[in-house]
Structure 1
């Protein structure tokens, strides 16, 4: 029975790779995997399957399982998970199948790569082989990162485990019951793949100069035209050395965090160094893109992007497309949307005042009867509040509203919290069926802002608020630049930041809050809370806004949705069927 199950697991993968059953002789025009050695396009198609499986997503799916948002969709799997339905058999977070499928493609590609002819010129062939090996190793590192984030955890006997390390392709005779490697072993392999990819890949794909040709190629007599034949602008959008430096920063930050640090072998200093090296390439905080926090709606910038080109804020993105799917899901009902993602009062309260003080600080000047005035400008940039404008419409979320934008209307498309999403959305889309206007969108896979926040967190832990390591900038410098860009504390010198700069603990709290604000609705907070060993069970709050006859508004807090997580859920599960069929050790607490 177990062998049959193995075969069923492999068949969809093989069918996708070669459109035939690799376990039987090829017939007619069907091709087996060895055919890639005579067809470079076919070989790159195998690698391309790994790109297709990359798990990046603009839609803020996991945020509705945190204290930042809820969904008004009763069938939302993340909503069900957050309210008690998360099991090893029902796991929306799982990356197990898709990531291991991608690693299978990658390993198949690597095993045949040296026999694929990409160019007749020996030097150019060497560079192509190096380049594609670098891409494959880089992709394998990314999928390991996502596997560790979703499935790394503590075994019942207290060992921090990762996943099985797979460095060779699998067939019907493979042993699918290989035990999980330790988390530290997985990180070691991940970082080795990262470092090898960085060594093999060009930093960027562009028109290079002679002094940018790596010495190993220059010594072979490679010219600029030869180098750009392999690493020129046409490669833009594929993995590069710069992107892999960012992946290294993400992975080391995760591994150095409280949930993983005891068994990962990674220190905060290594995480800070990984992020700092990349940020030094853009001159640290001085290189922060002034408009980077609104990348998704910088319309002229988006319209001018060439194929694979990225704006200053973006390290890596998907291809762009003309659509209004995000808007259809999340516009308020009066704009023909379904209002699916509803920001919480918890998140709204996390935005400070424009003077930089948290709203519960006595120096903030916060007015509970006028709660959206003089706030951090990012609040209005990312969230639709009661009475604010969306496109040309004024959105009333208070219960006194006269249409389905009002809280908890029976339409099923109304807000449950008193707020609608604004981030990611383009309000030059018109969902009116008479117009149905589309606009250009892309998914920001990795943003510089995330790497700046990675550095700030790790540098504060390694060296304190103002420690600079070897980079010439500190956690304090990064947070000051981010808040200044947002318009926070610019009129008063940001005294709250200066207070926090005197304490590692207070700076940690501020950095985590800045991360929450800057990266909200980017599928990051769910994983941040867990790697921090932070509270997962804070109930999602909202606000019911009523209006008296004289026009006075009253803001009444409401509890919208409880969070039902157990302490062991800091770590995700191994899929139940894989535990049952292959004997994998399950993470502590999961069945």
Structure 2
């Protein structure tokens, strides 16, 4: 079923824009052809899936204090160094998200007229589910538009984007003002509610008792019929559970410091939306024991059935065989390009194994042996000097005493600039050596449960304090304790216990845990902006370390690697310059 949809979707993507509104001369089939051809109709919806905004590799991370790129032509490196402008915005989502919304609006406007099945009940079930997918996808696409382009204008308004809920045609009025940020959030919540009314929470096997009340009055409807439309074979598509997570993400954004003065979304509401997702897996008890390394060979990726997700993953992409991430990011000695170089800033953010920050007097940190007794996540996510990497567990020497291009700054464009290489997201059983080209299974984790746990912790701490629970059975403290226990923090986590009654200290700990758990998954760039951190943190110089050897001793010398050049207005991205030039009613965000 999926392959014809993909082919149809690709066909639509390469069709000129006007061909979406009216058929070209060489293609006499118009939109009304979808009414008798369900595959053609689903091809329109499938474009919104193809245009999903997720990246399989770290992109925005190299524009933060977490990493740099060793590729001087990297667009995000250049952006962070001062080249970010309204007509040079590698973070822009304007065109891709708006294109997806146009396809979704076309689908929603026509879905009820499609002959999904000969049986009227089955036709209605298909129509409802597919419209539910479309509403959920539209909420997702609008959320990512707000992330990239919502912001404050010179006259003090918090604006989002122009809301478009009907298909546009060549005669549409495209000169529309931006709706307020609040109106956009309201639209996301409305779309989410409509999606939840129409979608099953999960695609699975159903009993007669599990048929939703919405359909209980349909005479003769059986679980088998309902499952024909909403069964396991649909896993991987937009579901009620995924919609709940998107709603939680949008609420957290709206409640965050950079936006809350212009919205009515409270921290309590954001916490409740996240809790609704988490309660579906049993709350804190549902935290996946091995969720922090969901991408490794032993994570179960080899055994995943079509659309199936492991306990950590709420939504994922298809599984593919590849070696692209490893070829890009392995050290040179392993036939990689060493592209993403984690920073000393990030390395220093990992606490000791006893849970104390390395700057704390009780940490036991030794600057002459900096990787000893650290939080186990450090070496799970980052290749440090003299650690192992690759299928043969080769020792990687990043110090200046190294004898190959793995050493810091040894070869421009290949060697690390910081003294570290990336390990997270990579599989150690991939071999990019051209003599072997051994690839392995990978997938993109679009939404992880850990992200939602951290969203709940952040919102709950702000709403009710570190140990408050609202109407739920767990607190921010409970979530952070579970995450740190999973990570391998030992000794009872005395540091967490020392801050559990201090909202500000807990806030900083939650933010740091989010930084560690979600590093290299394209969250940091937006997180530090929605938190409205000090401009000095946006511009924090990225540091590395030069490690030299004298006899049997290693010496660690901090080095400055890359300066940042963000301005005060860069907490919010711009509306594209070309759009501002075209449409007189479109306001730009302040400073751009």
- Normalization by structure 2: what TM-score? 0.95
8 Å CA contact 2:12, 2:44 repeated in 1: no
1:118-197 equivalences under 5 Å are 118-197=116-195
**Structure 1 residue 219 displacement after superposition:** 1.6
SS of alignment partner, residue 397 of structure 1: coil
- Over 3 Å counting, the alpha-carbon distance change for 1:421 and 1:143 in structure 2 is same
SS of alignment partner, residue 113 of structure 2: coil
2:466 aligned residue: 465
- Over 3 Å counting, the alpha-carbon distance change for 1:26 and 1:537 in structure 2 is closer
Q: Distance in 2 between matches of 1:184 and 1:113?
A: 29
Q: Distance in 2 between matches of 1:412 and 1:253?
A: 38
**Structure 1 residue 420 displacement after superposition:** 0.2
1:309-320 equivalences under 5 Å are 309-320=308-319
TM-superposition CA deviations, 1:142-161 (whole Å, max 9, x none):
01000000000001100000
1:75 aligned residue: 73
2:251 aligned residue: 252
Q: Distance in 2 between matches of 1:585 and 1:546?
A: 54
SS of alignment partner, residue 37 of structure 1: helix
- Over 3 Å counting, the alpha-carbon distance change for 1:166 and 1:369 in structure 2 is same
Which segment is superposed worse, 294-303 or 223-232? 294-303
Q: Distance in 1 between matches of 2:247 and 2:320?
A: 28
8 Å CA contact 1:404, 1:411 repeated in 2: no
**Structure 1 residue 51 displacement after superposition:** 0.5
2:563 aligned residue: 562
2:504 aligned residue: 505
SS of alignment partner, residue 295 of structure 2: helix
1:47-446 equivalences under 5 Å are 47-221=45-219, 222-299=221-298, 301-391=300-390, 392-446=393-447
Q: Distance in 2 between matches of 1:351 and 1:15?
A: 44
**Structure 1 residue 30 displacement after superposition:** 3.4
Q: Distance in 2 between matches of 1:371 and 1:325?
A: 31
Q: Distance in 1 between matches of 2:18 and 2:158?
A: 39
8 Å CA contact 1:14, 1:20 repeated in 2: no
8 Å CA contact 1:19, 1:30 repeated in 2: no
**Structure 1 residue 83 displacement after superposition:** 0.4
Does structure 1 residue 585 correspond to structure 2 residue 587?
yes
Question: Unaligned stretches of 5+ in structure 1?
Answer: 1-11
TM-superposition CA deviations, 1:86-116 (whole Å, max 9, x none):
0000000100000000000000111111100
**Structure 1 residue 208 displacement after superposition:** 1.1
- Over 3 Å counting, the alpha-carbon distance change for 1:227 and 1:287 in structure 2 is same
- Over 3 Å counting, the alpha-carbon distance change for 1:200 and 1:15 in structure 2 is closer
8 Å CA contact 2:12, 2:43 repeated in 1: no
**Structure 1 residue 198 displacement after superposition:** 1.3
**Structure 1 residue 300 displacement after superposition:** 5.7
Question: Unaligned stretches of 5+ in structure 2?
Answer: 1-9
- Over 3 Å counting, the alpha-carbon distance change for 1:249 and 1:17 in structure 2 is farther
8 Å CA contact 1:15, 1:21 repeated in 2: no
- Normalization by structure 1: what TM-score? 0.96
**Structure 1 residue 247 displacement after superposition:** 0.6
Matched residues, number: 576
8 Å CA contact 1:130, 1:200 repeated in 2: yes
TM-superposition CA deviations, 1:189-226 (whole Å, max 9, x none):
01110111112100000111222111121221321001
Structure 1 runs of 4+ off > 4 angstroms?
Answer: 12-15, 17-20, 22-29
Q: Distance in 1 between matches of 2:16 and 2:33?
A: 9
8 Å CA contact 2:70, 2:412 repeated in 1: no
**Structure 1 residue 252 displacement after superposition:** 0.5
SS of alignment partner, residue 294 of structure 2: helix
SS of alignment partner, residue 242 of structure 1: helix
8 Å CA contact 1:20, 1:32 repeated in 2: no
1:483 aligned residue: 484
2:3 aligned residue: none
Q: Distance in 1 between matches of 2:24 and 2:434?
A: 50
**Structure 1 residue 63 displacement after superposition:** 0.2
Q: Distance in 1 between matches of 2:11 and 2:304?
A: 35
**Structure 1 residue 21 displacement after superposition:** 3.1
8 Å CA contact 2:352, 2:363 repeated in 1: yes
- Over 3 Å counting, the alpha-carbon distance change for 1:300 and 1:294 in structure 2 is closer
Q: Distance in 2 between matches of 1:268 and 1:35?
A: 47
Q: Distance in 2 between matches of 1:100 and 1:13?
A: 19
1:539 aligned residue: 541
Q: CA RMSD in A?
A: 1.5
